[in-house]
Amino acid sequence: MNETDAVSVRDRFNHLSKVREDINIMRDYVKEDLFYRMIFVFKDEDLEEGNRLYRDYMTNCKGILAGKTLNDAPEEEAQAYMKYLWTLMLKEKSYKEWLSVKRSNAYQAVQDKFGSK
């Protein structure tokens, strides 16, 4: 285990490179997993705390973030860190962008396929 793997959940708040790493993990989750399970047109309200995309994030992403250490971290720390990431993703509008870009790419691929026949 190297020094960066040993960063505790509490310390991750101040470790910008680790936060960016987790946001990139979330990007991949949204584009490659969530999208295919839930092809839907979402409303902005779905991104609010407590609504379906937030609940999905809190339920399904705990095990893939923070070097997969959140399951072993104190629940309060894990929840605080996940909420911190969620807030950053919403502030940057990245979560919404990931879903929108993936959806438009999928629709374009379907349209191209039908157009080529």
Per-residue model confidence (pLDDT) at position 112: 54
Residue 1 lies in a domain: no
Per-residue model confidence (pLDDT) at position 88: 93
Per-residue model confidence (pLDDT) at position 4: 45
Per-residue model confidence (pLDDT) at position 102: 58
Q: Domains in the chain: how many in total?
A: 1
Residue 97 lies in a domain: yes
**How many CB atoms sit inside 10 A of residue 48's CB?**
12
Residue 4 lies in a domain: no
Residue 44 lies in a domain: yes
Residue 50 lies in a domain: yes
- CA triple 70-92-33, angle to 5 deg: 55
Residue 29 lies in a domain: yes
Task: Compute the distance between CA of residue 77 and CA of residue 12 in angstroms, rounded to an integer.
Answer: 10
Per-residue model confidence (pLDDT) at position 10: 82
Per-residue model confidence (pLDDT) at position 45: 85
90 lies in which domain range? 9-115
From the first residue on, what is the mean pLDDT of each consecutive set of 10 residues in the chain (117 residues)?
A: 59 88 89 65 80 89 91 93 94 83 57 53
Q: Residue 30: CA atoms inside 13 Å, Cβ hemisphere, count? A: 23
Which of 116, 114, 22 lies closest to 65 in space, CA to CA? 22
Residue 70 lies in a domain: yes
Per-residue model confidence (pLDDT) at position 81: 95
pTM, rounded to two decimals: 0.61
Residue 34 lies in a domain: yes
